[in-house]
Amino acid sequence: MIRMDIEDEDDINKARRRVRGFLSENGIDRYPLLRSYMLTIVSELARNIYLYAKPGKVNVSMIDEGKKRGIKLEFIDHGPGLDLEKMKKEELGKNGLGLGLTGSKSLSDEFSMDSSPGRGTHITCIKWIK
């Protein structure tokens, strides 16, 4: 498992680099599409933390569930949080924040977001190795 802090702009690149190394060590280079999805999600959501809710954390780990093996990405911040009901009404994806979020959701097999105004945001993305 790796843990990274996101505080300034360079941390977005650092996160991408460390996740590259992590995926490599765990044999994910054999799955180029999965690798691309994972790196892209990290880039999108680390940037969202930097732009809207810094400082925050990114955790990346390998997970096992029965016979399934997967990668779990977590993005945690204590920023302004999101009003999920309001965002649903306004349709995610209309602004910069939404594009990274909806994009990351589409790239994940399992996606969950826990957030409310003033309480920060916790996003979990899981991708199973097929």
Partner 1 sequence: MYEAQRIPVLKIDENLITSIQIELSDRMVVQLQKDILEKIKKTGAKGLLIDVSSLDIIDSFIARSVINIARTSKYLDAATVVTGISPEIALTLLQMGF
From residue 95 to residue 124, the character string flagging contacts with partner 1 as x (rule: CB under 8 A) and all else as - is ----xx-xx--xx-----------------
Question: Hey, is 119 helix, strand or coil?
Answer: coil
| CA 119/CA 80 separation, integer angstroms | 7
9 lies in the site for partner 1, by CB under 8 A: yes
Residue 79 C-beta: closest distance to partner 1, Å: 18
Beta bridge partners of residue 27, listed in sequence order: none
Between 24 and 116, CB nearer to partner 1: 24
Size of the site for partner 1 (CB under 8 A): 24
| CA 15/CA 80 separation, integer angstroms | 22
Non-local (6+) Cβ contacts of 35 within 8 A are 23, 28, 29
Give burial (CB, 10 Å; 0-12/13-18/19+) of 20. Answer: middle
From residue 57 to residue 86, the character string flagging contacts with partner 1 as x (rule: CB under 8 A) and all else as - is ------------------------------
Give me the residues that bind partner 1 (CB under 8 A), please: 9-10, 12-13, 16-17, 20, 32-33, 35-37, 39-40, 43-44, 47, 93, 99-100, 102-103, 106-107
